[in-house]
Structure 1
Amino acid sequence: MARATRTGLKAMMAAGALSALLMAPVSTAQADDSQVVVFAAASLKNALDAINTACEADVGEAAKISYASSSALAKQIEEGAPADVFISADLDWMKYLSDKNLINAATEEQLLGNRIVLVAPKDSTAEAKLEKGFDLAGLIGEGRLAMGDVQAVPAGKYGKAALEALDMWGSVEGKLAQAENVRAALKLVATGEAAAGIVYATDAVAEPEVKVIGTFPEETHAPIIYPVAQTAESKDADTPAFLKCLHTEKARKLFEEQGFTVLAPVSN
């Protein structure tokens, strides 16, 4: 895939720095096994941070949450990272771990749904009609299209599928600024390093420096589903309580405030 030069290189450096920041909690989690350790897709950060605070009294402790791309987190679990809960942004990376018997199958379920959107910096005047025939490459011009790594990051894979379905992929493939996770891609747009970006609708809600200029039709990509499960090696006795709290009415409200669709049943 084509990578950015000059401006694009600066963009990649910014993405890398943000990815490092998002990954930072992993070492903290490894150092403290007295709390529930959650590995969660980067796009969940705002909602899950709020839920973690709201659920602390029910669980008896605040969880340690590490955010990164689902692919990176799954590989860390495979390599022995001490996670109790994994929340992926797609079904593929949960299956990857399940196939290796690294997930407690009895606890796995589909938790959330999402959408992918096209965003631009908040002061942009661009508008996009995301259908066949729309000139996305023209909208980007000499700039870059930020998105997650199309080979590994769920948002990147969904985005590539949508672009291919709309016959846009060939015209923008050489304009990509691929990031290690969707929040890093979002940051490239928010800082003006990229002219536009493909992120989740929930990311756009969380970042005031971008605006949505188009929503990809749902039929252009696989359904966006976030599964959750306890890991097979989970040792923390409070893990079931944390999973239970994800199903409460207060958790549902916080997920929906960030734009997620709650797929799992809500309990008291």
Structure 2
Amino acid sequence: MPSTRRTVLGFTAALLIGAASFPGPALAQSKELVVFAAASLKTALDEAAGNWVKDSGKPAPKISYAASNALAKQLEQGAPADLFLSADLDWMDYAQQKNLIVKESRVSLLANRIALIAPSDAKTTVTLAPGVDLSAALGQGRLAMGNVDSVPAGKYGKAALEKLGGWDKIRDKVAQADNVRAALLLVSRGEAPLGIVYTTDAAADPKVKVIATFPEDTHPPIVYPVAITKDSANPDAQAFLAYLRGNAAKASFEKQGFTVLNKPASSS
């Protein structure tokens, strides 16, 4: 097995931030508020949740962070959660089609951007224009990104490179990670010279820097929907959702670089 592949498999399994694993029976029987959230939300959502605890006097929610696809599949398999925050519309649509969420509670909460990153001390420069070729900048290294078939950030990154005509040139030099924070860590640790992550992820790690931001017209809109799960019986679920839609949480999200949308879902 190639060393890059071993590296990705080795630490990405640990990097699900303690969250991609199935909550056990003790959690299932707990009355604490359980939130399933996309890994890219960690920094902002941890702060918002902490402020909610201080403002409301409620117990701290149990937040499980992982890739949106992994969380949606866990919900489908019966994992107990009260709220689901996805990093794209597709996986929330999936949860809705499987009757895993309360459709009326669904809100398009946030928007984001994707960027090309490098270690903070790198001298690399790249212009993300039609015909872009990252091969020279990668050298013998790999482009770190989320799984391009399932992880939202990976799907957005592949779509953007395809639109710019650069995907086929580097498709065999991609290190695919289990979630976007795993891709971020590959670059942060210097194990990949370049990576594609959300701009908010780059802002959360001082060991990386954004060298170029993808034009928004190169990929589908990056929207983070949130909804209460169908099986939630926790009265705090509605209260926490309302808090996430309020001004206090807005400050936490905007500080991290998210754009706050806070729009009820139209249909689907």
Q: TM-score, normalised by structure 2?
A: 0.93
Paired residues of 2:106 and 2:227 also in contact (CA < 8 A): yes
CA apart distance, 1:135 = 2.2
2: CA distance, partners of 1:71 / 1:219: 24
RMSD of aligned alpha carbons = 1.7
Contact 1:29 1:37 in 2 (8 A): no
Matched residue, 1:13: 10
Aligned residue in 2 for 1:38: 35
Residues of 2 paired with 1:58 and 1:29: CA distance? 25
Give the alignment partner of residue 76 of structure 2, picking from 50, 74, 78.
78
| 1:199 match: secondary structure | strand
Runs of 4+ in 1 over 4 A off after TM superposition: none
One-letter amino acid matched to 1:45: K
**Greater shift in the superposed pair: 20-29 or 169-178:** 20-29
Does the CA contact (< 8 Å) of 2:200 and 2:258 recur in 1?
yes
Please show how residues 81-120 of structure 1 align to structure 2 within 5 Å.
81-120=79-118
Provide the secondary structure at the position in 1 that maps to 2:115: strand
1:165 is the counterpart of 2:163: yes
Q: Runs of 5+ in structure 2 lacking a partner?
A: 264-268
**Structure 1 pair 125–223 and aligned structure 2 pair: CA distance change class (3 A):** same
Counterpart in 2 of 1:262?
A: 260
Match of 2:231 in 1: 233
Identify the match of residue 50 of structure 2 among 40, 46, 53. Answer: 53
Shift of 1:25: 8.5
Unpaired runs of at least 5, structure 1:
none
Q: Out of 149-158 and 13-22, give the one that drifted further.
A: 13-22
> Which residue number in structure 2 is paired with residue 248 of structure 1?
246
Match of residue 207, structure 1, among 182, 188, 205: 205
Distance 1:178 1:124, change over 3 A: same
C-alpha contact (below 8 Å) 1:11/1:193 kept by paired residues: no
* Bigger mean CA offset, 52-61 vs 26-35: 26-35
- Count, aligned residues: 262
Q: Which amino acid is the alignment partner of residue 43 of structure 2?
A: N
Shift in Å, 1:250: 1.3
Maintained 8 Å contact 2:18/2:65: no
TM-score w.r.t. the length of structure 1 is 0.93
Q: In structure 1, how many angstroms separate the alpha carbons of the residues matched to 2:72 and 2:4?
A: 31
Cα pair 1:158 1:222 within 8 Å, conserved:
yes
- Partner Cα distance (1:46, 1:28) in 2: 27
Using a 3 Å threshold, how does the CA distance of structure 1 residues 167 and 24 change in structure 2: closer, same or farther? same
Structure 1 residue aligned with 2:193 = 195
Distance 1:208 1:158, change over 3 A: same
Distance 1:192 1:85 in 2: 35
| SS of aligned partner of 1:228 | strand
Counterpart-to-counterpart distance in 1, 2:26 and 2:167: 39
The code of the aligned residue for 1:139 comes to A
CA shift in 2, pair 1:74/1:157, >3 Å: same
> Which residue does the alignment assign to 1:138?
136
Do the aligned partners of residues 211 and 175 (structure 1) sit closer, same or farther apart at CA in structure 2, a change above 3 Å counting? Answer: same
Does the 8 A contact of 1:59 with 1:242 survive in 2?
no
Question: Structure 2: how far apart are the matches of 1:59 and 1:129?
Answer: 48
Deviation at 1:14, TM superposition (A): 2.3
Shift of 1:15: 2.1
